[in-house]
């Protein structure tokens, strides 16, 4: 099975700051990591390769430093990567992002299965997976929590719902987005990490992908960021003085009064 995993490099949420003037994310000097949800996509791909064999390709659109993330992906056991990077890609919304990613998938010769994370922790729209499927003309199942069956022709997957799950028989080629329940991401492997040390991901820009400048990036986007701001802290803080037992008792009394907890008799 040929699997393409879409990985997005995002700022480490632990250290994100907004530029007070432009209201955009300050990416300089902020550690970049693989979008945490995409680690589940990667884990799903690794599990599938263990089950049915095949090849895993990692695809990302991002600035040149996203090559480092692809190296990390090689460390987890991915076979090859492809970095879509071009000044023209900057400022892409989900529409322009899927245009570039769809061209990237075609550039890689297509796949039996494309796997995306549920959503990116920075953009947070959860639109890229479904949008990409639409552009590629692939059937899609979002929020997959388990893959019950896998063969060259189809998958049987569980789609997470509010009140349980749907069982979907999905013909391949197809696209899925996966959620946490798919399985705890494994640690990297030693052989992968040794290979990663020397790995240089191939790079493709707009021209190589056959995309015109007005199809990608800011020019290819319908939406613009008007303002991004951190909402002020809304909570109130109160210190409860005194010894631990009295303070603990006060907390319980308050929680009972606010009907957060009920005390049994």
Q: Is residue 69 a contact partner of residue 34, using CB atoms and an 8 Å limit?
A: yes
Which residue from 25, 30, 203, 208 is in contact with ligand FAD, where contact means CB under 6 A?
A: 25
Per the rule left: phi > 0, alpha: psi between -120 and 50, beta: everything else, 210 is left
**Contact flags string 52-81 toward ligand FAD, x per CB under 6 A:** -------xxxx-------------------
Is residue 51 part of the contact set for other proteins (CB under 8 A)? no
Distance, CA of 34 to CA of 64 (rounded, Å):
14
For 53-62, b/e burial (b = at least 16 CB within 10 A) is: ebebbbbbbb
Q: Is 124 in the site for ligand FAD (CB under 6 A)?
A: yes
Nearer to ligand FAD, 129 or 185 (CB): 129
93 touching ligand FAD, by CB under 6 A: yes
Shortest CB 93 distance to ligand FAD, Å: 3
The Cα-based distances of 45 to 52, 146, 259, 262 in angstroms read 10, 12, 45, 45
Shortest separation between residue 190's beta carbon and ligand FAD, angstroms: 25
179 belongs to the binding site for ligand FAD (CB under 6 A) = no
Site string for other proteins, 196-225 (x = CB under 8 A): -x----------------------------
């Amino acid at each position: 099975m040929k699997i393409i995993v879409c990985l997005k490099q995002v700022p480490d949420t632990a250290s994100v700051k907004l530029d007070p003037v432009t209201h955009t994310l300050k990416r300089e000097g902020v550690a970049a990591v693989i979008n945490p949800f995409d680690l589940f996509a990667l884990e799903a791909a690794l599990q599938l390769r263990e089950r049915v064999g095949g090849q895993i390709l990692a695809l990302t659109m991002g600035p040149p430093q996203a090559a480092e993330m692809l190296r990390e992906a090689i460390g987890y056991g991915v076979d090859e990567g492809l970095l879509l990077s071009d000044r023209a890609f900057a400022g892409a919304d989900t529409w322009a992002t899927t245009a570039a990613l769809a061209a990237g998938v075609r550039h890689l010769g297509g796949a039996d299965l494309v796997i995306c994370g549920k959503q990116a922790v920075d953009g947070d729209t959860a639109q890229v997976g479904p949008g990409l499927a639409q552009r590629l003309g692939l059937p899609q199942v979002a929020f997959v929590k388990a893959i019950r069956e896998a063969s060259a022709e189809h998958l049987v997957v569980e789609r997470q719902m509010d009140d349980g799950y749907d069982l979907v028989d999905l013909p391949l080629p197809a696209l899925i987005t996966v959620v946490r329940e798919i399985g705890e991401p494994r640690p990297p492997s030693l052989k992968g990490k040794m290979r990663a040390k020397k790995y240089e991901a191939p790079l493709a820009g707009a021209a190589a992908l056959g995309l015109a400048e007005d199809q990608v990036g800011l020019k290819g986007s319908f939406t613009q960021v008007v303002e991004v701001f951190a909402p002020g802290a809304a909570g109130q803080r109160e210190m409860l003085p005194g010894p631990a037992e009295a303070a603990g008792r006060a907390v319980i009394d308050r929680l009972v009064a606010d009907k957060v907890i009920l005390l049994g008799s």
